[in-house]
Structure 1
Amino acid sequence: MNTVARRIGRSLALVLPVVLVLSGTLAVTRVAWSTSGSESVLAASSARASSAAAPRRAHELLRDRLVAELREKDPGVALTHLQEEVNRRPSLAAHCVSLARTLGRAAVAKYGPREAQKFARPVCDTAFAAGVAQQAQRGR
């Protein structure tokens, strides 16, 4: 009996936060993906793309900053700043899922799977929760 309850508890511990995050994401009614002004999108020049010492991309810099922030403070702060950056710079939306998963993995490394899951939020759908679950599976 005790093992059955334990299995149900573990399953709920992993599934319930994902459901809560997903339901929160679905509750969002409007996201401003672009500004009201007309903006043009420019492709990178071939000279820049082929340079060996190309500067790091914005999403890579953001990822490093957010992971450092997560380690210094907590995942909730990092997730809030991720959402703010994606709102401020819509071009980062394409990288939001991978950034949130990275934060989920880093949260498991710092707090463990159970504690890390408590920080899940509806940022980039359920990517943070997926990163936590993915890292928890690797740890077994």
Structure 2
Amino acid sequence: MNTAARRIGRSLALVIPVVLVLSGTLAVSRVAWSNPDTDPVLAASSAHSSAAAVPRAAHEVLRERLVAELREEDPGVALTHLQQEVNRRPSLAAHCVSLARSLGRAAVAKYGPREAQKFARPVCDTSFAAGVSEQAR
């Protein structure tokens, strides 16, 4: 009896994985992966995922974060964090001027030109002050 149980166990050990693989393969082959017209939900979700999958540049993400920070706190905090990010990631140095100018424009929108100018400091060659003066015109 013990040998019969072993034979059945070995047979099942060989047959069950094959059955599982074949049933999984057949299940996947029946899904309309290549024809989105048959499943509009799948087509809509795939269209959204390809548009959202476009990676954004690091300086654009940083710009949004710093401008939001400026709106919540003050330009001094945002300028300090800009300088820290440029020191931490030197590749952002090429965008430092445009980032500081964006902060200057956002500061004018929040505080007005006179008050915004008080936050100016030599981050990125006084580009913050240039952004303030551009927006004040």
TM-score (norm 1): 0.60
Partner of 1:100: 100
Amino acid in the other structure paired with 2:67: V
Distance 1:78 1:126 in 2: 14
Q: Secondary structure at the match of 1:121?
A: coil
Q: Please show how residues 1-140 of structure 1 align to structure 2 within 5 Å.
A: 53-137=53-137
Partner of 1:11: none
Q: Identical aligned pairs, as a percentage?
A: 87
- The structure with more helix, counted as a fraction of residues: 2
Alignment deviations for residues 41-98 of structure 1 (CA, whole Å, 9 cap, x no partner): xxxxxxxxxx964211100000000000000000000000000000000000000000
Amino acid in the other structure paired with 1:71: R
Q: Secondary structure at the match of 1:55?
A: coil
Instruction: Return 5+ residue gaps in structure 2 as ranges.
Output: 1-49
Aligned length: 87
What is the CA-CA distance between 1:126 and the residue it aligns to?
A: 1.3
Distance 1:54 1:105 in 2: 27
Q: Secondary structure at the match of 2:121?
A: coil
Q: Which has the larger radius of gyration?
A: 2
Distance 2:69 2:104 in 1: 13
Q: Secondary structure at the match of 2:77?
A: helix
Distance 1:56 1:125 in 2: 26
Distance 1:91 1:130 in 2: 22
Partner of 1:48: none
